[in-house]
């Protein structure tokens, strides 16, 4: 049987499946991370419980902001995007306020020091723009250049804190820019040396340039890692899908008709996956050099 030509549709299908697999894998990993970090021991995610706790934390001050952020992160990780937006609206939160609360929870976790809790929500909002290292230093009771420690921050007015944070960020941005310039200069020097070494190696080899076969093998070797990485990601995505199927079968009260409908709803995408897999197998079986056009 002759090899069928690859179509543009097949390429688009393959790319779509890769994007779907990557998206599912990333979302599952993020959900697991957020649940592990913010759910209480032995507690399972529940939309109603999250909303109730979020309302409770809204009534508190600094500690409430961290708690509110934690519940919002749980909502965002476990709900579809539309449901998350609806939950934020139900809580009467502006999107920017919700983002501040989530950033505060991620950066400061369950910080309970008196200096931190007494500084108020406005100062915490200002501190959320700090990079992770500076935020962690403050949580650990260490001093941050230009800010001091939490006690020093507590003594500042909101305006003073904003100015200090702005100056700190500008200084760190300047340092980062200088570091990148130095790194670029070093890489340039290293590249020049590697080029010179390559030239000398060719001279030592009798001034013979590499053959087409040697160049082709080098290029082929460079493709091994990417294809193995993509196949591993696809395998992991399928493993995650099987876990989801197992979870569906364990839902209390679910019946055969519901599970059959659930399966049929996925048939189109599954068929797309099967077609892409068959095309890939055929490509690998009949892999041959492509004739170069004149």
Q: For the segment 211-243, what is each residue's pLDDT rounded down to a tens digit?
A: 788 778 888 888 888 888 888 888 888 888 888
Residue 86 shares a structural domain with residue 43: yes
Is 158 inside a domain boundary? yes
The residue among 209, 244, 277 that closes a domain is 209
Angle formed at CA 83 by CA 262 and CA 33, multiple of 5 degrees = 85
Residues (pLDDT < 50) of the chain are 1-2, 59, 294
Alpha helices in the chain (DSSP H): 8-38, 47-58, 62-78, 81-90, 95-108, 114-117, 121-127, 132-139, 150-155, 158-204, 212-249, 256-265, 267-285
Is 16 inside a domain boundary? no
Is 13 inside a domain boundary? no
Is 152 inside a domain boundary? yes
Residue 190 shares a structural domain with residue 227: no
Residue 145 shares a structural domain with residue 73: no
Residue 86 shares a structural domain with residue 151: no
Residue 149 shares a structural domain with residue 85: no
Is 10 inside a domain boundary? no
Residue 204 has a pLDDT of 58
The residue among 177, 192, 209 that closes a domain is 209
- Among residues 77, 18, 5, 68, the alpha carbon closest in space to that of 45 is found at 77
Residue 220 shares a structural domain with residue 156: no
Residue 200 shares a structural domain with residue 217: no
Residue 174 shares a structural domain with residue 190: yes
The predicted model scores a pTM of 0.38
Residue 16 has a pLDDT of 67
Residue 249 shares a structural domain with residue 217: yes
Residue 91 shares a structural domain with residue 81: yes
Distances (CA, A) of 167 to 174, 264, 271: 11, 58, 56
Question: Which range of residues forms the domain containing residue 266?
Answer: 211-285
Residue 205 shares a structural domain with residue 221: no
Is 136 inside a domain boundary? yes
Beta bridge partners of 148: 144
The residue among 186, 209, 232 that closes a domain is 209
Task: State both tokens at 211.
Answer: 């053959």
Work out how many domains the chain is built from and give that number.
Answer: 3
Residue 1 has a pLDDT of 46
Is 117 inside a domain boundary? no
Residue 8 has a pLDDT of 54
List of residues 6+ apart from 124 with CB closer than 8 A? 62, 65, 66, 100, 104, 108, 116
Residue 5 has a pLDDT of 52
Task: State both tokens at 183.
Answer: 């790194």
Residue 202 shares a structural domain with residue 215: no
Is 122 inside a domain boundary? no
């Amino acid at each position: 049987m002759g090899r069928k030509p690859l179509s543009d549709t097949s390429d688009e299908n393959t790319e779509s499946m890769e994007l779907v697999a990557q998206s599912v894998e990333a979302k599952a990993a993020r959900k697991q991370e957020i649940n592990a970090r913010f759910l209480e021991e032995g507690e399972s995610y529940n939309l109603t419980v999250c909303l109730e706790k979020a309302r409770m934390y809204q009534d508190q001050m600094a500690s409430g902001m961290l708690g509110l952020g934690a519940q919002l992160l749980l909502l965002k990780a476990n709900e579809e995007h539309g449901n998350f937006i609806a939950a934020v609206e139900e809580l009467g939160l502006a999107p920017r306020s919700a983002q501040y609360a989530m950033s505060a929870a991620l950066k400061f976790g369950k910080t309970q020091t008196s200096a931190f809790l007494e500084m108020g929500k406005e100062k915490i909002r200002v501190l959320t723009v700090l990079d992770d290292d500076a935020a962690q230093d403050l949580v650990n009771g260490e001093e941050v250049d230009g800010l001091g420690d939490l006690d020093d921050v507590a003594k500042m007015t909101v305006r003073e804190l904003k100015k200090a944070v702005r100056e700190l960020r500008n200084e760190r941005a300047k340092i980062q820019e200088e570091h990148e310039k130095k790194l670029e200069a070093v890489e340039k020097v290293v590249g020049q040396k590697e080029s010179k070494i390559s030239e000398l190696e060719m001279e030592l080899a009798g001034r013979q340039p590499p053959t087409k076969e040697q160049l082709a093998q080098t290029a082929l070797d460079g493709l091994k890692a990417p294809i193995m990485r993509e196949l591993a990601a696809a395998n992991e995505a399928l493993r995650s899908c099987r876990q989801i199927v197992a979870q569906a079968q364990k839902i209390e009260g679910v019946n055969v008709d519901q599970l059959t409908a659930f399966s049929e709803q996925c048939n189109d995408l599954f068929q797309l996956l099967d077609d892409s897999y068959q095309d890939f197998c055929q490509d690998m079986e009949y892999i041959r050099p492509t004739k170069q056009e004149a």
